Amino acid sequence: MKKRFVNRLTELDRLDKVYRASSGQMMVIYGRRRVGKTALLSHWLDTRGYKSVFWTADRISPTVQLRGFSHALRRFAAPDAEIPADFSYGSWENALLEVEQLSKHERLVVVLDEFTYLIEADPALPSILQRLWDHRLQHANVMLVLTGSHAGMIEREVLSYRSPLYGRAKWHIPLQPLPFGAVHHFLPGLSAADRLTLYGCVGGIPQYLELFSDQADVFTNLEEILESSMILDDAGALLRDQLSEPRNYMAVVQSIAAGYTKLSEIATMAGMAPTNATKYLSVLQHLGIVARQVPATVRDPDQSRQGRYGVTDPYLRFFFRFLSPSLSYLERGQRNLVMANLTQHLAEFTGTYAFEELCREWIYAQADTGALGFVPRRVGSVWGYRQPNIDVVALNPDEHTILLGECKWWNEAVPKHVVDDLLAKAPKVIPEGNWRVIYALFSKSGFTTEAKKAMGQNECRWVDLKQLDADLRA
Q: Which of 32, 354, 324, 31 is nearest to 199 (CA)?
A: 354
Predicted local confidence at residue 397, as pLDDT: 94
Residues 6 or more apart from 64 whose CB is under 8 A from it? none
pTM: 0.92
Per residue of the chain (474 residues), what is the pLDDT tens digit?
456 788 899 999 999 999 999 899 999 999 988 999 999 999 999 999 999 999 999 999 999 999 999 999 999 999 999 999 999 999 999 999 999 999 999 999 999 999 999 999 999 999 999 999 999 999 999 999 999 988 878 888 899 999 999 999 999 999 999 999 999 999 999 999 999 999 999 999 999 999 999 999 999 999 999 989 999 999 988 888 777 778 899 999 999 998 999 999 999 999 999 999 999 999 899 888 899 999 999 888 888 888 899 999 999 999 999 999 999 888 888 899 999 999 999 999 999 999 999 999 999 999 999 999 999 999 999 998 778 999 999 999 999 999 999 999 999 999 999 999 999 999 999 999 999 999 999 999 999 999 999 999 999 999 999 999 999 998
One-letter amino acid at 7 equals: N
How far apart (Å, rounded) are the C-alpha atoms in residues 51 and 432? 63
Question: Do 93 and 35 contact (CB within 8 A), yes or no?
Answer: no
Residue range 180-352 forms a domain whose CATH class is: mainly alpha
Residues 6 or more apart from 226 whose CB is under 8 A from it? 232, 323, 330, 335, 338, 339
At 265, is the secondary structure helix, strand, or coil?
helix
Q: Where are the domains of the chain?
A: 9-174, 180-352, 357-473
Q: Which of 318, 312, 313 is nearest to 222 (CA)?
A: 318
Within 10 angstroms of residue 167's Cβ, the number of other Cβ atoms is 10
Q: Which of 231, 154, 218 is nearest to 192 (CA)?
A: 218
Predicted local confidence at residue 1, as pLDDT: 45
Within 10 angstroms of residue 375's Cβ, the number of other Cβ atoms is 13
At 84, is the secondary structure helix, strand, or coil?
coil
How far apart (Å, rounded) are the C-alpha atoms in residues 3 and 173? 22
- Fold exhibited by the domain 9-174: Rossmann fold (3.40.50)
Predicted local confidence at residue 185, as pLDDT: 95
How far apart (Å, rounded) are the C-alpha atoms in residues 317 and 438? 32
How far apart (Å, rounded) are the C-alpha atoms in residues 294 and 449? 35
Q: Read out DSSP for 422-465?
A: HHHHHHHHSPSS--EEEEEEEESS-B-HHHHHHTTTS-EEEEEH
- Fold exhibited by the domain 357-473: Trna Endonuclease; Chain: A, domain 1 (3.40.1350)
